[in-house]
Amino acid sequence: MRRADAVAAALILTLAVTAGAATGCSPEVGSGTYHCGPDRSCPDDLRCDEVSTLCVFPELVESFDCGENGNVHEDDDAPARAFDVGVAGCGQATVQQSGCIDNAGDVDYLRLTTPVGCDGTLSVTARAPVAFMPVTVEIVADDGTTVLGDGTVCEDLDDQGREWTCATAPVTGATGYLVRVRGAGVGQDCDGACAYNRYTLAID
């Protein structure tokens, strides 16, 4: 489900629990049963564990951590310091990278080079938990300023509670391009309390 649908589903669950309580039936939602919804939302009596992104008993909650596959390519927050993933696109094997946006101003850059003779479309997908600040993904020319493709939500949530954001752009062969990943910013960050996220990037 998309972000709006997830909010609606959480509301329906809340209404169902409330209605059940009014009739003397109190359904119990087990700890670790559901992934956190947008803005770390969970059923009553449960809280969002920011490591597993599951709704758990309050005493089991752990704070957000980028994890061992998080900021392994820092300092990559400027085009000149972009992490080079090598040749990608046009039939090359899919490049997968894990990363982490650990604050509202964090930006991650990756650089790739298209194969010789590659004239086609480059596709980049970022998957990130819906619980925290959404991530945006862009394909940028090697000058670091010209945006060639902006990311939009392209697929419903998967079974791990992650939202998929995709960007596409026309490319030419033997040319360098940048992929920029950053947070969506104010208004989608739990009022500043969850201005971070982990993501998995796939470049085709």
Structure confidence at residue 188 (pLDDT):
84
- pLDDT over 80 at 47, yes or no: yes
Structure confidence at residue 3 (pLDDT):
57
Paired with 56 in beta bridges are 47
- Check whether domain 79-203 has CATH 3.90.1150.10, yes or no: no
Going through 88-119 in order, the beta strands assigned E by DSSP cover: 95-101, 107-113
Secondary structure element (H or E) that encloses residue 170, with its range: strand 162-171
Mean pLDDT for the stretch of residues 144-168:
94
Q: Count CB neighbours of 16 within 10 A.
A: 13
Structure confidence at residue 130 (pLDDT):
96
- pLDDT over 90 at 69, yes or no: no
pLDDT digit string (tens) for 121-151? 999 999 999 999 999 999 999 999 999 999 9
Name the residue type at position 87: V
Tell me what the pLDDT averaged over the chain comes to: 87
Secondary structure element (H or E) that encloses residue 21, with its range: helix 3-22
pLDDT digit string (tens) for 73-108? 878 899 999 999 999 988 889 999 999 999 989 999
Secondary structure element (H or E) that encloses residue 26, with its range: none
Confidence class for position 5, pLDDT limits 50, 70, 90? low
Q: Where are the domains of the chain?
A: 3-60, 79-203
* Cα distance from N-terminal residue to C-terminal residue, the chain: 24
